[in-house]
Every structure is written in C-alpha cells, then in structure tokens.
Amino acid sequence: MSRKKNILIISPFFYPEPISTGKFNTDFATALSRNGHCVTILCYHPFYPNWKIKKSNDTIKGIKIIRGGNFLSFTKKSLIRRIILEFSFTFFILRKIAKYQKGVDIVIPVFPPSFAFFTVLPFLNKSIRKTGLVHDLQEIYSENQTGFINKIVHYFIHIIEKKCYRNCDKLIFLSKEMKDKAKHLYGLTEEKLEVQYPFITIKDKITEDISALFNKNRKSIVYSGALGEKQNPEKLLLFFNEASKKINNLDFYFFSNGEEIKKLKKINNNPKIFFHSLVKRENLEELYKRSDVQIVPQKEGTSAGSLPSKLPNLLASDCKVFLITDKNSELHKLFKKHKLDFVTTSWNITDMVFKLQEILEKDIDFKHQKKIAKKIFTIEEMVNKVLK
C-alpha cells in the first residue's frame, strides 16, 4: 500500500446523489478512504438529476465533505443551467481553495464542470499533484449545436478544457476513445494520459421493495439512470412506442428524474410505457433483476464523449443489456471482442425493434457476462492509477 496521502476532490456532484457523477465520486472517495487516505471533497448540496438543491448534512465516515450552493436556483433551460453551475461553483471553489489545499498531496478535479479548476489554477500550490478525472468531453456534445450563442459556448469550452487538461500532471479518462479524442483536440502528451473504465459498485443484495411497479406476467424493458441529450431521449421514447406495437407481452419503463423525463411524460400516450422516479440506491440490484432488458443508449456521434458509468453494474447483474452506440466505437469493439450480447450501431427504429426481439429470444450466458465485467471494471485499478 502507498503511504497515506491527503487528497482533495473538486466536483459539485457528491453523496447522497444516487446516479451518474455523484454516485461515481462517492464510491471513488470511499475507496480512497478505505485504503487509508485522508479525503476532503469540495462539492454542492445534492441537486442532480432534478437540478433542485436539497440541503443535506449527510456524512460518510472518513471523508470531510465541504458543501456549498445551498441557496442556488437553476432554470429549466439546459444551457442556462450549465452556465449557472459553472460560474457559481467557480466562486465557491475560489472562496474555499486557500483553506482546503493546505497539506494536500493530490488534488483531483472531476471534469466536467471545468471552469472552476480553470480559474483556481494560479492559486494552487505548485507542489500539489494535479490528477484530473474526465467523465465527459463537453466539446463533443457542444460541437454540433446550432446558433450563434452555442457556437460561442463551444469556443470557450475548447479553450477552458484545453487549459485544464494541459495543466494536469495526469489525466484519467473513462475510455480510450475519450483519451484519443482529447489528445487530438488539445495536443496532449501521451505520457500523462491514462485510461480506466468505471467500476462495479453493486453488492448483490436483492430487496423486495419495488415489485409492485412491475407486471410479473409481462416482460420489462427498462431505461434507468440520468436522462439527457446524450441518451437521445425522444428517439428512445419513439423506439419504446414502436416496439410495444410490434412485440407482444412487453412493458416499457423509464426510471429517472429531471426535465427530459417531464418532456417525455407530456408527449407520451402509450399505456405500455411507464414513468417512475429513480429507485433508491439499495434497490438497484432489485431493479436490474426485475429488468428483462436494460437499455444503454448513446446518441449518434457521441460515443467519444463519455462512457456510461452504470454499464459495469448492468454487466455484473443477471439482466440482458441492449447497448446502442456508434459503429466501431470503443464499446462496440469491447462487446464484440468479449462476445457480449447485445449491441446495435443503428438508431433506425425498425432495426432496433428487430434487435430487441432477437435479444429477448436469446439465452445469455450471465456467468460469462459477470466474469468479463469483474475483469475489466475494477475500482482498485482506478485508485492505483490516481495514486501512482
């Protein structure tokens, strides 16, 4: 074991947020603490995915949590929300960094957001090692946006991400595809770049709390987790709608919160499509067990932007995983290499319905699926790469 280190994590997303970056940060910080390191995180009170601040005094043993954003308010417009988040979190970090960087060995900014780290770089002690964790490449998601304002935002994202990444001593990306794209976009040197897939966090503790939400006489097709533009929500709803007409005995479920879910609810009129809030963390294993198929969608042209952090947990569960991704993307190649079922590289609705029918009819070797998941998606390797 490496010597005990003082580690400062910078990210607005943290416990008790149930999904996405908040869940990742919580599990990662807990693993660092469990390995004997002193961990402090500068974060916000939980607000994702509803984008509403919910004051929390929840603690985690061995982790010092410094929260801000208590009186923050977000709008329904995604671009404005992101601007509010970037600037408010920057002011929060500027107020706190002098005090909480004292005695720190490693500072870990989790990107995005990026503007806070971009701004505090001149104020960081030069002796502190800077190790960035890159969850999303925001430039990938902004480059195809139309309109004058979006073009300006894209320009500034490029400048900010480039400076942040270049000023880290090490960068850890959640996929090789993300690493290669960032290296090309920002002229990064290979020596300081690492790749580590996200990690398994489920504990195989099956509850009996959400059984009433499902019809046991019908098969359940489920999307669960954060739902935003990169998941192609409207086309996902269209797919569910069409599949419900073409395949008998199926129910379709969204387990999510936020503005995108509200939009889908308003336009949906299909009685076979159901909407529920995110399940509690302790019910995740039950949700996966009750799902005949879990959908993992990536919008066309965005596979280099991120890697779904829930994928390891899904592959480590006894449920079928239907991945929708770009052709020859890293996940497409990974699924093919390890003979994992099932993946499609088309958002053509007819093709997707055909693939869904195929996976429903096929027997899956869950033991093989779990073996691959446990081999590739390990938190120990993430911790080791941060510390070395």
- The C-alpha atoms of residue 84 and residue 108 are separated, in whole angstroms, by 22
How confident is the model at residue 140, as a pLDDT? 85
Q: Look at residue 146 and tell me whether its pLDDT is greater than 80.
A: no
Mean pLDDT of 225-229: 90
- The C-alpha atoms of residue 126 and residue 122 are separated, in whole angstroms, by 9
The neighbour count for residue 350, using CB atoms within 10 Å, is 11
Q: Could you tell me if 293 and 322 are in contact, meaning their C-beta atoms sit under 8 angstroms apart?
A: yes
How confident is the model at residue 144, as a pLDDT? 66
β-bridge partners, 361: none
Which residues are CB-contacts of 83 (< 8 A; sequence separation ≥ 6)?
A: none
Mean pLDDT for the chain? Answer: 93
The DSSP string of 79-128 is HHHHHHHHHHHHHHHHHHHHHHTTT-SEEEEEESP-HHHHHHGGGS-TTS
Q: Could you tell me if 165 and 182 are in contact, meaning their C-beta atoms sit under 8 angstroms apart?
A: yes
Q: What is the pTM of this model?
A: 0.88
Give me the count of residues in the chain.
388
Which of 43-57, 135-149, 262-276 shows the lowest per-residue confidence on average (mean pLDDT)? Answer: 135-149
The neighbour count for residue 318, using CB atoms within 10 Å, is 15
